[in-house]
Amino acid sequence: MPFKLPVLVRVFVVFVLILFLNRRRVPFFLCLFFGAFLLGLWMRLRPAPLLLMILKDITSSQSLWLASIIAAILTLSNLLERAGQLSRIVKAFDRLSHSRKFTTLAMPALIGLLPMPAGALVSAPMVQESYPRRGRDPELKAAINYWFRHLWEYWWPLYPGVILAISLLQVETWRFVLAQMPLTAGAITGGLIFIARHIPEAKGNPSEGERRGAFLDFLRETMPIVIILIFLFGFQALQHLLHLQIPFAPPKYLGFALGLLASILWVMRKNRLGRGDLLSSLLKPSVPQMAMVIFGIMAFKGMLVKSAAVEMMRQELSLYRIPPLLIIAFLPFVAGLVTGAAIGFVGTTFPLVISLIHPSTPGGIIPYGLLAYGFGYMGMMLTPLHLCFLVSKDFFQADPMRIYRYLWRPALLILSLTTILFFLYRSILIP
């Protein structure tokens, strides 16, 4: 009787191959499509039906909604940058602050509210400008810029990795947000204890009139974010109150999509941008590339299910007595280290993570999603391949190993907090 390679091993080999090809600079979406096709062949599906499965997955309503929303988010971010509104937000906040130290920490945190590739490069000059002491501490400034730029991506619903995680876990946005928020509190605490305490103090002294005017300016400039939040959570609240049924689109996407559209129109009108600006922002290379990544992820996820790999892996885990928790925490961490992007570790590992969770598991899927996301995110933060780490290092001309002296302690705090929250949620949440 010929030896049959366990499905667990086959999926793991495909997973490693996807990460390896991506490291060799093959576009991530091509790596995912190749992985989905190879997995289908390995599961003894014929090429023609296999390609039809992939086509059906990438043209599903879920795939099209996700790709459209993420393209809209990046377009909004590009419009804000094009209009100079990002810098106006920061200047208004700087006029509010009593402390240069606080301003130094707040600059990357503010920029972190808007997803953009290598966003740390936008906040780095602001950290340099607001830092109380000139020409010194390059590693500390790089660590400040890098760590505080990434406080919100655990739950902030403008980030593609968060949107994808919510979609794959099939949970309501507000449940995911509430469950993940403590990780941001942990990141802020860790950053203050292990990084910010090294910053020298220096006082600002804005007058009462300056503060009042700056607050109104800040509120006006951040209106695009406020509009999205009003639509996102207001639509969900209205749906629950009135029991609305939307037959043509998942409500959790529709409210967000309407908010994004309203925000884009508001930015264009207030900044007097035209159709040319919109087209340039929409066709910026990062926008179609990210949309293609979404299609690749959905193809890979669909193949895991339709090839019966998911069910066979469950049976093998039971047979070999491999602790599923080990896989749920370890694989996203490794994927974060290798890809250096939230959408990378979510897209490659969450379909597998979800397949390991039985529907009747205590606490439901939220605790396991948190465990996978928390470990994956710290893998992403600790890799030297992360684009924000690289641009921070280069901008401040810092020694990368000395930057890690400031990062490893808050990272360990997040991993510990993630583990504690997992066991807490599993014991108190009802599936």
State how far the Cα of 82 lies from the Cα of 273, in Å rounded to an integer. Answer: 9
State which amino acid sits at residue 326.
L
Per-residue pLDDT of the chain (431 residues; tens, 9 = 90+): 345 788 878 888 887 888 788 778 888 789 889 988 998 998 888 988 899 999 998 898 878 887 888 788 778 878 888 888 877 877 777 777 777 788 888 888 988 887 766 667 667 777 877 787 665 789 999 999 999 999 999 999 888 889 889 988 988 888 999 999 999 999 999 999 999 998 887 665 555 556 667 778 888 888 888 888 788 777 767 766 666 555 544 545 677 788 889 999 999 999 999 999 999 989 888 788 878 888 887 888 788 778 877 677 767 766 777 788 888 998 888 888 767 788 888 987 888 888 887 656 656 889 999 999 999 999 999 987 687 887 788 788 888 888 999 999 999 999 999 999 999 998 887 55
Sign of CA dihedral 73, 76, 81, 85: negative
For 357, other C-beta atoms within 10 Å of its C-beta total: 20
DSSP of 339-395, one letter per residue? H-SHHHHHHHHHHHHHHTS-TT-TT-SHHHHHHHHHHHHHHHHH-TT-HHHHHHHHH
Which of 92, 85, 89, 123 minimizes the C-alpha distance to 105? 123
For 282, other C-beta atoms within 10 Å of its C-beta total: 16
Please give the angle made by the CA atoms of 173, 298 and 343, to the nearest 5 degrees: 60
State how far the Cα of 61 lies from the Cα of 249, in Å rounded to an integer. Answer: 8
Q: What does the domain layout of the chain look like in residue ranges?
A: 137-204+308-431
State how far the Cα of 373 lies from the Cα of 382, in Å rounded to an integer. Answer: 14
Residue with tokens 């397949």: 355
Q: Please check whether residue 58 is in contact with residue 299, taking contact to mean a CB–CB distance below 8 angstroms.
A: yes
Residue with tokens 């590693």: 139
Q: Please check whether residue 244 is in contact with residue 251, taking contact to mean a CB–CB distance below 8 angstroms.
A: yes
